[in-house]
A and B are shown apart, each in its own frame.
Chain A
């Protein structure tokens, strides 16, 4: 059931499309223009209770055009790839630019900053996988999980494999494109029944199929993660240290990155406005990005402005060393772009790591948080309050599962109260980190 997808052909087709859009924009009176175009194709299968539940073939495409008329800007986009539609999109973008107000900061990034070297970052590893084989893998995954005693029900296992091509071009003459793949397998199981019911899941994701965890590993881990939650109690209200499991710690890194992103800063909607150079973390903690890492989940040689990406250090020995800026947000702040249009890429922490068991001993009594719910963050003040579930730690050891409580504090204080980073590094996302031990948070339970 697989559809033919020739990535190289799609890439040259999109590059041609982007060039056409630039030419059209110039012809129709735009002073500058940038174009993003993408196409992706994927297969997704779902199984549940040993049966196929869904088979989905997807193919999405889109083209987005931004034009500048003087210092005025207009955007238009469409999922329609026809010639007529391309013309309509460019015309609409120009029509909008006639109405928007002048913006001194508007415009392309400086031509001198465009990426000139576009190395192959080893991101494209298609998986020759037909529907039957995909279903088979998902079935093996769910089966392995359901075989664990105590698993009573399942929301199933799903496997997806996507291939994507993206192109960015602008009227400086920059044209960059990249192809990439992403394969994922996940499983969500249920244990217990009635009011005692609990769910949890696990997943694996990679650019290369051979880098995925085995289906059985994912299923068994999903089962174990679900079973260990049974008979959770509510912890008592009070001030305790909190050990954020790697997936949760990744969220804290995300909160940090959002707070040093140019858009949040010039809108004054970050608690880290005007804090460049300030000490945020302990001295032993540094954090940066490595956008050109080969095979990285977020690797890219150019950012969303066509600017060459580079290694950035955001936190240097505890201090806020750099903001995360695009060409536009940099102009708004009177600074220079850091090549972060589109965000941070392949974020890594530089800090001594501690064995998880030792981190738990260091904590003594407190809570290990393995799941959080809700939005619960005020980015303007850093005030933090989120629903959580996890495990009560007593004298450095797991005592029992806990749920239905909140962990609250203020990000500024939480960052400063970081006591250690675990060696249990989770490499499944663009941000790699181990657990974080944070002192002095408020738990609200019973």
Chain B
């Protein structure tokens, strides 16, 4: 066990357990309540979050908010069944009541005693700090005003600038009947800039942002207010000149970094353990098969230092991991939580996540990336006679059963005779996950991570995620524009 885990456990205990008078004996008692007849696993998830947001509009920070949430979620598993209850009070009474309620999922069977807990050893993937402290309110406001000044000075066409700074200080502690005891202090910060530009009766938008699991002061020291403001204006101006996007099938080149949401939608969700256990994913039962072009290697990597999707431990206390999903085109792994791993006879991969104590865990992505290939990004563009070059996206969605996915470009260009030419209006790209992956024909040597802006939604629960990829060429994808 590393020092970091020890200090996280100590901090989490004093922030989460001590105020309600709880100690290890109370946790054991709580697990005892949840391990009713027929229950084969139970866990207690304690959480407290401090969330802060500052919003600038019209050159002033006129709105700001602060919230404190917390509680305990108790889960009891019996075979494929899950009983779940939670309380915003952290007390021995609340543990008893939620534990009994959750264990009601099974009515009969033998009673198993929880195993003696042992602290989980995990390497810290980020500093266990409170990211909100360390910068004064004045400093935070100054960052946003800086973004406003830079954006307005960048071009006379800029008519609206809004910027926001958010920070979350999350403290969790997990105690489970399999002996798991783990805690994590998770910082998360983000700065975003949105601009509207207007010229000759046309109006367009642009946005940029980013962050990660570190202190707010790092955003200031890195000067992101300036760089994101410039980037947002640049993107908006590009879109102001955009022509209608083409409609139909054509080669598509995706830029590096954030376009990795292609992987998140086309591949990632379909490789989450729950969908594969239930056989409802287009990738179900295909382990060992070729599901992508040779050269395509996709991993889910919770271990990247300080990244938005990284996890020192997941929400079941399993250490965050580097999980290969597709290696050289062959499907080699799924993302698992404890429930689905056990039912599929596999190992948990540290992908159990939940939006909060009031939500149940599911297998979820962390940072999902395609590893670099050997192609020069310029050569990739040159190889396309007529196609689309898409560098930024709004968001996407997938139907994991049929494999169909979409994602919507927010900055894209035509490629004509191997050259990037006119910017085109945002178009939705649509394809089929396994099919699209087999049409990857060139992989750049420029792997990049996104700047830290992703939120993934699944069954109504949102969690922060990261994506990354090199420049990629897909030989054919459907582009949903309006021009013929």
Contact = CB atoms under 8 A, between A and B. Distances in A.
B407 A405 contact: no
A195 B403 CA distance: 8
Given A78-B68, A376-B408, A387-B404, A48 B278 contact: yes
A389 B282 CA distance: 17
Interface stretch (A53-61, A252-260, A333-341): A53-61
A57 B203 contact: no
A131 B105 CA distance: 10
Interface string B438-481: 00000000000000000000000000000000000000001111
Interface stretch (A95-103, A206-214, A312-320, A418-426): A95-103
B81 A406 contact: no
A375 B141 CA distance: 31
Interface residues of A, number: 79
A78 B406 contact: no
B61 A385 contact: no
A92 B52 CA distance: 11
B85 A56 contact: yes
Q: Is the interface of A mostly helix, strand, loop or mixed?
A: strand
Interface string B124-137: 00000000000001
Contact of B160 (A96, A267, A383): A267
Contacts of A404: 404, 430-432, 478
A54 B82 contact: yes
A89 to B, nearest CB: 8
A77 interface: yes
* Best-buried of B247, B282, B481 by chain A (most CB within 10 Å): B247
Nearest to A61: B88
Contacts of A237: 247-249, 484
A54 B404 contact: no
Q: Is the interface of B mostly helix, strand, loop or mixed?
A: strand
Contacts of A79: 68-71, 88
A1 B101 contact: yes
A346 to B, nearest CB: 24
B136 to A, nearest CB: 9
Contacts of A99: 61, 64, 137-138, 141
* Best-buried of B67, B137, B358 by chain A (most CB within 10 Å): B67
B61 A101 contact: yes
B66 A75 contact: yes
B83 interface: yes
Interface in B276-300: 278-280, 282
B175 to A, nearest CB: 20
A190 B141 CA distance: 51
A446 B64 contact: no
Contacts of A407: 480
A332 to B, nearest CB: 9
Contacts of A365: none
Given A58-B358, A99-B137, A78 B397 contact: no
Contact of A380 (B205, B249, B434): B205
A357 interface: no
Interface string A388-420: 010000000000000111111110000000000
B198 A268 contact: yes
A374 B138 contact: no
A269 B160 contact: yes
A88 interface: yes
Nearest to B275: A155
A194 to B, nearest CB: 9
A351 interface: no
Given A79-B88, A373-B397, A101 B480 contact: no
B334 to A, nearest CB: 17
Interface in A241-297: 267-269, 271, 273
Interface in A95-128: 96, 99-103, 106
B395 A378 contact: no
Contact of A101 (B62, B205, B394): B62
Contacts of B221: none
A403 B162 CA distance: 38
B245 interface: yes
B69 A378 contact: no
Contacts of B63: 73, 75, 100
B428 A376 contact: yes
Given A1-B104, A102-B62, 4 more contacts: A54-B81, A380-B204, A403-B404, A406-B478
6 contacts: A75-B66, A197-B402, A199-B402, A271-B203, A373-B430, A387-B406
Interface of A: 1, 3, 48, 51-62, 64, 73-81, 85, 88-89, 92-93, 96, 99-103, 106, 131, 153, 155, 190, 195, 197-199, 234, 237-239, 267-269, 271, 273, 373-376, 378, 380-381, 383, 385-387, 389, 403-410, 442-446
